[in-house]
Amino acid sequence: MVTAAMALLATLIVAMELGIGFSQPQSIIGRTSFPKGFTFGTASAAFQYEGAVEVEGRGQTIWDTYSHTFGKIIDFSNADVAVDQYHRFTEDIQLMKDMGLDSYRFSISWSRIYPDGNGQINQGGVDHYNEFIDALLANGIQPYVTLYHWDLPQALYDNYTGWLDPQIIKDYARYAETCFMKFGDRVKHWITFNEPHTFTVQGYDSGLQAPGRCSFRLWCKEGNSDVEPYIVAHHTILAHAATADIYRRRYKPTQKGSIGVSFDVIWFEPGTNSPEDVEAAQRAQDFQLGWFLDPMMLGDYPSSMRSRVGTRLPKFADSDVSLVKGSLDFVGINHYTTYYARNSSCGIINLLNDTLVDSGTTAFPIKDGKPIGDRANSIWLYIVPEGMRKLMNYVKNRYGNPPVFITENGMDDPNSPFIPLQDALKDDKRINYLNDYLTNLLASVKEDGCNVKGYFVWSLMDNWEWSAGYTSRFGLYFVDYKDNLKRYPKNSVTWLKNFLGNSV
C-alpha cells in the first residue's frame, strides 16, 4: 500500500516533471481555451449577502448571535443589511448577465425555510428563493445551490447544541429534502456544505467563528477543543451522506441533478526536502481536505488522523460507511493560497488550535524570511498561482480524478476610507491573480488531464466577510457602504467580461 507521505512525494515529483514550478505560465487565455461546457460563475453566501435578517419570517442564526457579540467582529459590524441582495437580486442578476456568466453559486438560509430549524415551513422563504431561482434562469444563469454556508438556526443550537448532537443529522436532512422538493425541478447542482473544515475548526476549536466554542476560557465561555471539532465533523459527514442518499433515491431519478461538497483547501509545500517535512505536508493535507474527503471517497478518515487522534476520533459503523463512501457526485474546491508545512511536536504557536497540535505540523507562508508570494489584504492570503495546478493534480492522483468544480477562488483588497473610489476600482492585482490562477487551472485540465468542470470567482461584489466584517473587499464590484450600497464595476469586471467573450 502506498503511504500518505509517498503519495504526496509522488505528486511533487509529477509536478516537477510537468514543470509546475514557481514560475508563472505566460499565455493569453479565454473562455474557449477551456473545454466545451466548462462553467464560469461567481460565488456568494446568504449571510454575507442577503441582509433582511428579520424579513418574511426568517429565524435567527448562530451568526446573528455571534456578530452581535461585542469584540467578535474586527470592525464591530454585523450582517443585518450586508449588501441587501435579498431586495436587490434583480439588479445583481443583471450584473452577472452583462458579464456573460454562466452560473451563480449562492446559499439558501436554513432559517428562512425553517425559522426554528425544524417544525413548520416558512412559505415566505420558499417564495423568495423560488423567485430568485426563476430570475436567474430567465437570464440564462444556472443556479448552484449551497444548502449550508455556516448559518445554523439559533434554535437548534439552543435546543441541543446543534452540530454537537446527532439529532442535527435528521433535522439537516429534513431541511435539505424540503429544498429538493421545492427547488429541485430547476436546481441541478447541490452543495450540501461549504467548507466543513472551516466551521468545524474555527467554530469549535479556536472559537474564532460562530458559535465560538473552544477550551481557552479567556476567549470562549464554553467548549472543548480536544474533542468537539471531531464530533462536529463526524456529524457533518453523516448529515451529508444521509442527504445524498435521500436525493439519489427520491429525487435524482426525475430531477437529474448532482450533489457535492465544497472543501476549503490550502496547498501545502514541504518547508524543506527532508522526509519529516514531506510527511508533515501530507499530514497537514490529511487534517484539512482528507479529514472530510477521505471518508466520502475512500471510506474512512486518513490513517494519520486515526493514529494521532486515537479514541477522540469517532468511528464509522458499517452502515455509515455504506452511505458515506461514494456519496459525492462532484468535489467542490475553495482554493486561495499556498503555505509551507513543517514537522512540529507542538510549540506555542499551536496552543490555541488543538487539531493543529494533533496534526504535528506548523504551516507558514514565509521561509527563510521570504514570503511564499505577494500578499493580498487578508493576513492569510498569499498569491501562489501554481498551487492551483499542484492541488488539482493531488486530487486527481489521490482520489481517482473525480469531477471537480473550483467553487471559490479570489483575493481581497483593503477597505480603507483613504482610498478614493476611482483608485479602488483599479484592481490590477486582482486581474493578475485571476489570470494566473486560471492559467494554472487550464494547464491542469489540458496538460495534466484533471477533471475540472467549472470555476467560480469569490466574489461578485464586496460583502460582509465574517469575522473581518467590512474591512476586506473581495468583489469584482465595489460596494459603497456609505452611499446606499451602490455597486460600481472594478477593472476586473471588464477583464472578466473580455475573458468570457474571448475566442482564443
User: In the numeric block, which cell numbers belong to residue 70?
Assistant: 461585542
Burial environment of residue 235 by CB neighbours within 10 A (0 to 12, 13 to 18, 19 or more): buried
Catalytic residue among 228, 269, 408, 465: 408
Q: How many CB atoms lie within 10 A of CB 368?
A: 6
Q: How far apart are the first and last CA of the chain?
A: 44
For residue 129, give the nearest of 65, 62, 194, 181 by alpha carbon: 181
Q: From residue 346, how far is each of 253, 266, 275, 342 by CA, in Å?
A: 50, 21, 18, 11
Catalytic residue among 195, 228, 269, 386: 195
User: Three-state SS for 251?
Assistant: helix
Give CA 235 to chain center in angstroms.
18
Told to judge if 195 belongs to the known catalytic residues of this protein, a careful annotator would answer yes
DSSP conformation class of 124 = H
Collect all residues with Cβ–Cβ distance below 8 Å to 317 and sequence separation of at least 6.
none
Main-chain dihedrals φ then ψ at residue 392, nearest 5 degrees: -60, -40
For residue 221, give the nearest of 229, 212, 230 by alpha carbon: 212
Cα–Cα distance for residue pair 99/469, rounded to 1 Å: 27
User: Three-state SS for 10?
Assistant: helix
Residues in the chain: 504
Cα–Cα distance for residue pair 362/337, rounded to 1 Å: 16
For residue 269, give the nearest of 260, 277, 259, 261 by alpha carbon: 277
Pairing type for strands 39-43 and 103-107 reads parallel
- Edge to edge, what strands does the sheet with 361-364 contain? 267-270, 338-343, 361-364
Helices 4-17 + 275-285 axis angle, to 10: 100
User: Three-state SS for 270?
Assistant: strand
Told to judge if 269 belongs to the known catalytic residues of this protein, a careful annotator would answer no
Cα–Cα distance for residue pair 287/280, rounded to 1 Å: 10
Q: What is the dihedral of CA 468, 472, 474, 475, to 10 degrees?
A: 120
Any idea which residues carry the catalytic annotation? 195, 408
